[in-house]
Amino acid sequence: MKPRPSPAAASSGGVPARLRPHLTRLTVFLIVFSAGYSVGIMSSSIRPPASKPSQTVIRPRAAHLSGTASSTDVPASNGSAAAAANYPRSPPHDLFRFREECGEAIPSDAVVRTLLDKLFDGESPYESFPPPHTAALLHPAAARPRGWGSTGAVFAELIEEVRPDVIVELGAFLGASALHMAAVSKNLSLSPAILCVDDFRGWPAFRDRFRRDVPPPRHGDALLLPQFMSNVAAAGADATARVLPLPFSTASALAALCHWGVYADLIEVDAGHDFHSAWADINLAWAVLRPGGVMFGHDYFTAADDRGVRRAVTLFARVKGLTVRPHGQHWVLSPKPPLRRDGR
């Protein structure tokens, strides 16, 4: 009987002869590969979870805060839609979305009657004013109510230049500017309707500054509207026939005027002094300004809201391709261009 071969001999005998010289290398490779694979599995099990990729916050360049135009500023254009399409990413496009087309224009001499019918049931708010219970609460009517720059030379200059049939004033307070414009117009043999848009609520703590000019509040009512009306009534029948208060917010009043086809030849913007209030007022009022009409306003140099009024005026002029002319504390825009053939 032949002796049984050893296991080593049997295993080596099963390996082809051509692979026997490489057997040692293959064995070493398999051992190293297995060890590396095992280490990789172990390290992956204890690796901390991967953090989420960081998000890049893109802050658009605040072009409207710059006092000078840059190479990326919008070119001059009469259409805000085209301007918004080409304007830098800041401000957002919604900042330019304002109504530009209004209702069919009603005759200028029908403006007061139209507003009396729509807002006051066809009766003048000055009729039988003030009732006894209100008169007892008001200060004596002031011949020249207190205001800010309300008798500046810009009023007479623009009224003589434009010769308006309809004037819209945003921000009336006690009526100083409105009564001055009425007096200037009368001296020029003009009789424009003067529409005074104001919610007549004042602003927080305004009484600390004007305590001697305004009556004390009554049941939460600031009483600015009756004091305004009292001052206008004291100026005479000519003033009450032409100076009409519109006691609503500027946005709602201008939207109504636009819808009803009430257009103005001259608009004074002197309501909110922050950027967003001034920006909205200017854009909304522009829609009801007749072509060839002029818009102007106060507080061009006020420091409120980082010179918010000036920033709003400057941006609007840049978008519309207009020029801004400072006039004392006031600003004056170049006349509104005529409508183009596409209606803009």
What is the bridge-based pairing of β-strands 264-269 and 289-297?
parallel
State CA 57 to chain mean position distance.
24
Domain count, the chain: 1
What's the pLDDT score for residue 62? 41
Work out the pLDDT band at 4, boundaries 50, 70, 90. low
Predicted local distance difference test score (pLDDT) of residue 60:
36
pLDDT tens per residue, range 124-179: 999 999 999 999 999 888 767 777 778 899 999 999 999 999 999 999 999 999 99
Q: Which residues contact 239 (CB under 8 A, 6 or more apart)?
A: 179, 182, 232, 233
d(CA 308, CA 324): 15
Ordered DSSP codes for 143-156: SS---SSTT-HHHH
Q: What is the pLDDT of residues 257-266, one digit of tens each?
A: 999 999 999 9
Type of residue at 171: G
Q: Does residue 339 or residue 293 have the better pLDDT?
A: 293
What CATH number corresponds to the domain at position 300? Answer: 3.40.50.150
Residue 207 has pLDDT above 70, yes or no: yes
End-to-end CA distance of the chain: 116
In a domain, 287, yes or no: yes
Q: Place 9 in a pLDDT band, splitting at 50, 70 and 90.
A: very low
Instruction: With respect to residue 24, please indicate whether it lies within any of the assigned structural domains.
Output: no
Separation CA 76–CA 317 (nearest Å): 9
Does residue 32 lie in a domain region?
Answer: no
pLDDT tier at 220 (50, 70, 90 boundaries)? confident
Helix (H) or strand (E) holding 264: strand 264-269
Give the amino acid at 341.
Answer: R
Residue 28 in domain:
no
pLDDT higher than threshold 60 for residue 5: no
Quickly count: other Cβ atoms within 10 Å of residue 220's Cβ: 6
Write out the two tokens for 302: 């006020």
Query: What is the pLDDT at residue 216?
Result: 84
Please write the tens of the pLDDT for every residue from 91-133. 567 777 888 889 999 999 999 999 999 999 999 999 999 999 9
Q: Domain of 291?
A: 111-134+153-333
Query: Of residues 57 and 232, which shows the higher confidence score?
Result: 232
d(CA 27, CA 31): 6
Taking only the tens place, the pLDDT of each residue in 306-342 is 889 999 999 999 999 999 999 999 999 999 999 765 5
Q: What is the pLDDT of residues 267-286, one digit of tens each?
A: 999 998 899 999 999 999 99
Q: Measured between alpha carbons, how far is 283 from 313 in angstroms, rounded to an integer?
A: 10
What pLDDT shows up at residue 47? Answer: 53
- Residue 176 domain-assigned? yes
Concatenated DSSP letters for 106-117?
Answer: PPGGGHHHHHHH
Query: For residue 75, is pLDDT > 90?
Result: no
For residue range 39-66, what is the model confidence (pLDDT) as tens digits? 666 665 555 555 444 443 333 334 444 4
pLDDT of residue 44: 56
Range in 17-31, 173-187, 315-329 the model is least confident about: 17-31
Residue 72 has pLDDT above 70, yes or no: no
| Higher pLDDT among residues 131 and 8, named by residue | 131
Long-range CB contact pairs, 244-248, < 8 A, 24+: 244/112, 244/115, 244/116, 244/125, 244/193, 244/194, 244/195, 244/196, 245/125, 245/172, 245/196, 245/198, 245/200, 246/115, 246/119, 246/195, 246/196, 246/197, 246/198, 247/198, 247/199, 247/200, 248/197, 248/199
For the segment 243-254, the average pLDDT, to the nearest whole number, is: 97
Task: Give the residue, 162 or 214, on which the prediction is more confident.
Answer: 162
Query: Confidence class of residue 86 from pLDDT cuts 50, 70 and 90?
Result: low
The predicted structure's pLDDT at residue 68? 43
Residues with Cβ within 8 Å of 210's Cβ and at least 6 positions away in sequence, in order, are 146
Closest CA to 74 of 64, 89, 86: 86
* Residue 189 domain flag: yes
Nearest-Å Rg of the Cα atoms of the chain is: 38
The reply to whether 36 falls in a domain is: no
Q: Is residue 229 in some structural domain?
A: yes
Instruction: Quote the pLDDT of residue 97.
Output: 81
